[in-house]
């Protein structure tokens, strides 16, 4: 399926053509890295969110949800560190007038060395066949060794510069490695500067009572500042979690790859509060739980990997990303962090309010530690789209574009198609629609040939097409066409709810992920 950047471009066009994602403000020529979800996109996105929400709040007795406001007291962002440290190092090219993240330019240079090494390995693997020993080859091949040496040298300098927050050194690395602007091809770079990613606006109506506020760059802080509210009103006992889905905003410098990096996006975050000292055990538990959630969708187990962080934020004692194989490489979709008691302690310090938990078993009060799972809805949407998209060659030379979406997530579960617009077929089709519409998202379509209607449904990933023909009117049976196999079977109308329900139910998906819990 989706393998490379050409396919990625097709997926982006497909999203627009079939009502999944539109560029924001398109009739005004768009707005950078902001997108709108269309009639099918919103359904797919809502189903992803429901899958996450129910996996968190139904499958765990000790996880509850909240919905906190986007605007919060500005001191929250001082306490969380976002005002002082939520920065990206940016650099401008004077010729193209384009702005880049300095760290991304250097990481792309590292990726070039990695690519060269992989190419050598792939070539040799082909040449030597079964007898190929990759480890030995990497240790001895001069070209691989030379690129590895360059990679190690650059990586060491880069890591030190980032750790020391040394912006001059970042610029020097870009100059020393002769990194050019991909647009102008020149090395006419400005100095590197820090750029805060938070959007700022004013709250209040008159000049003497306005206050600067931020659009939240993550939903997590809304959970931390409500820790005591939820713990007390819900009489929650540790360990317990608070889940939230909501919009977040970041003024990304390099916004690209479609909905992968947006300026307005949505997060699904869960903070799990635990006893100090137990956090690493819970970190492992949540790593495995979250991977199971992803894998239960059946997008392909091999498409996921953990990327453990070598460099930890000063408040974290473990962190990993779940990466997904996008057409443009393995990319972070979800972060899992052991954040110690940093956030709650900071809010205690900045608000002056005691934020502690009294543990009745230990008979003592303490600041809980936190494991955070944080996933981007839009990145999840993209991973589902990319792994579902297929241009399929059919027998007889025909082709079709089909989205093999996980059935429980599909925007439309079944299409109801009278073969022709006469002989009682539309009326019968409406009856079936009226029976199914309370349980399933159905779409009625009577325009064009049935073949064209099948293609339209394949393109939006509808798992089932129900065709009402002459025989239906006589014996109450229909043909049921499967999106993936295109096979059709004749079934009784009365069996439709159970067949579609069994295959498309979110409950079954939740059960399959829960089996090994």
Which positions lie near ligand GAP, rule CB under 6 A? 218, 220, 250, 252, 261-262, 265, 267, 269, 332-335, 372, 374-376, 378-379
Nearest C-alpha neighbor of 104 from the set 119, 87, 89 = 89
CB atoms within 10 A of CB 357: 20
Residue 221 CB, nearest approach to ligand GAP (Å) = 8
Residue 234 CB, nearest approach to ligand GAP (Å) = 22
392 — phi, psi (to 5°)?
Answer: -110, 130
Nearer to ligand GAP, 33 or 213 (CB): 33
Residue 382 CB, nearest approach to ligand GAP (Å) = 9
Q: Tokens standing for 383?
A: 């991973």
Residue 269 CB, nearest approach to ligand GAP (Å) = 6
Q: Tokens standing for 155?
A: 């990586």
**Contact predicate 233/123, CB 8 Å:** no
Residue 408 CB, nearest approach to ligand GAP (Å) = 21
Nearer to ligand GAP, 332 or 423 (CB): 332
**Contact predicate 436/487, CB 8 Å:** no
DSSP alpha helix (H) spans, 217-333: 220-224, 227-233, 279-295
Nearer to ligand GAP, 253 or 460 (CB): 253
Residue 265 CB, nearest approach to ligand GAP (Å) = 4
Nearest C-alpha neighbor of 500 from the set 460, 464, 475 = 464
Helices (H) and strands (E) in the chain, counts: 18, 23
Nearer to ligand GAP, 60 or 216 (CB): 216
Q: State how far the Cα of 213 lies from the Cα of 72, in Å rounded to an integer.
A: 7
Nearer to ligand GAP, 290 or 481 (CB): 290
Residue 378 CB, nearest approach to ligand GAP (Å) = 5
Q: Tokens standing for 211?
A: 């206050």
**Contact predicate 480/472, CB 8 Å:** no
Nearest C-alpha neighbor of 83 from the set 73, 93, 91, 92 = 73
- Residue nearest ligand GAP (C-beta atom): 376
Q: State how far the Cα of 388 lies from the Cα of 408, in Å rounded to an integer.
A: 13
Nearer to ligand GAP, 248 or 468 (CB): 248
Nearer to ligand GAP, 326 or 457 (CB): 326
């Amino acid at each position: 399926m989706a393998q490379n950047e050409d396919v990625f471009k097709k997926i982006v066009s497909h999203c627009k053509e079939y009502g999944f994602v539109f560029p924001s403000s398109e009739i005004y020529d768009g707005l950078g890295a902001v997108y709108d979800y269309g009639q099918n996109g919103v359904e797919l996105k809502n189903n992803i969110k429901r899958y996450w929400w129910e996996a968190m709040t139904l499958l765990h007795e000790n996880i509850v949800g909240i919905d906190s406001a986007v605007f919060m007291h500005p001191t929250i962002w001082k306490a969380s560190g976002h005002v002082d440290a939520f920065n990206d190092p940016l650099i401008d090219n004077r010729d193209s007038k384009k702005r880049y993240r300095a760290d991304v330019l250097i990481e792309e240079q590292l990726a070039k060395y990695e690519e060269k090494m992989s190419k050598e390995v792939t070539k040799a693997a082909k040449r030597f066949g079964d007898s190929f020993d990759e480890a030995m080859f990497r240790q001895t091949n001069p070209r691989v060794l030379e690129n590895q040496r360059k990679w190690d040298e650059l990586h060491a300098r880069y890591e030190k510069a980032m750790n020391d927050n040394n912006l001059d050194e970042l610029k020097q690395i870009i100059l020393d490695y002769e990194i050019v602007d991909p647009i102008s091809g020149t090395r006419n770079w400005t100095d590197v500067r820090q750029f805060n990613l938070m959007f700022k606006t004013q709250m209040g109506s008159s000049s003497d009572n306005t206050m600067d506020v931020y659009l939240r760059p993550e939903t997590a802080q809304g959970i931390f500042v409500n820790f005591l509210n939820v713990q007390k009103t819900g009489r929650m006992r540790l360990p317990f979690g608070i889940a939230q889905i909501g919009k977040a905003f970041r003024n990304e410098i390099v916004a690209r790859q479609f909905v992968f990096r947006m300026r307005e996006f949505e997060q699904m975050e869960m903070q799990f509060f635990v006893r100090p000292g137990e956090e690493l055990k819970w970190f492992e538990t949540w790593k495995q739980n979250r991977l199971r959630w992803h894998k239960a969708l059946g997008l392909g187990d091999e498409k996921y990997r953990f990327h453990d962080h070598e460099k930890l934020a000063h408040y974290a004692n473990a962190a990993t990303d779940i990466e997904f194989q996008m057409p443009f490489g393995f990319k972070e979709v979800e972060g899992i962090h052991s954040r110690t008691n940093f956030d709650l302690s900071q809010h205690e310090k900045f608000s002056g309010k005691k934020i502690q938990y009294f543990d009745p078993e230990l008979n003592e009060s303490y600041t809980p530690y936190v494991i955070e799972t944080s996933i981007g809805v839009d990145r999840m949407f993209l991973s589902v789209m990319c792994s579902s998209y297929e241009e399929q060659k059919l027998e007889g030379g025909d082709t079709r574009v089909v989205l093999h979406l996980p059935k429980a997530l599909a925007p439309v579960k079944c299409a109801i198609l009278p073969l022709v617009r006469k002989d009682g077929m539309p009326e019968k089709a409406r009856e079936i629609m009226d029976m199914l519409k309370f349980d399933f998202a159905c779409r009625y379509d009577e325009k064009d040939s049935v073949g064209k209607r099948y293609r339209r449904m394949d393109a939006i990933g509808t798992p089932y097409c129900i065709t009402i023909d002459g025989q239906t009117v006589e014996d109450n049976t229909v043909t049921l066409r499967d999106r993936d196999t295109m096979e059709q079977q004749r079934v009784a109308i009365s069996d439709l709810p159970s067949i579609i329900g069994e295959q498309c139910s979110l409950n079954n998906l939740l059960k399959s992920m829960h089996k090994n819990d």
